[in-house]
Amino acid sequence: MVLAALLVTRRDNVDARFLAAVIGHYVAHPEHRAAIGSQTEYERLRAALPGRG
């Protein structure tokens, strides 16, 4: 079973700086939270924030 766990490919490669900037953004701008998860919001965040995911 341990070997099987080692063969799993991780798909959660997120730049820590970008993630921290996104969290800070949503703390400061709760009005943008409704858009979380949309492709449009992700693209907006990548253009606006440092670390650009």
Q: Does residue 1 sit within a domain? A: no
Q: Does residue 4 sit within a domain? A: no
Per-residue confidence (pLDDT) for residue 2, from 0 to 100: 54
Domain count, the chain: 1
Q: Does residue 53 sit within a domain? A: no
Query: Residue 22 sits in which domain range?
Result: 9-48
CB neighbours of 52 closer than 8 A, spacing ≥ 6? 15, 18, 46
Token pair listed for 19: 């993630």
Per-residue confidence (pLDDT) for residue 52, from 0 to 100: 62
pLDDT interval class at 10 (50, 70, 90)? low
**CA 45 – CA 48 distance, rounded (Å):** 5
Q: Does residue 2 sit within a domain? A: no
pLDDT interval class at 25 (50, 70, 90)? very high
The reported pTM is 0.68
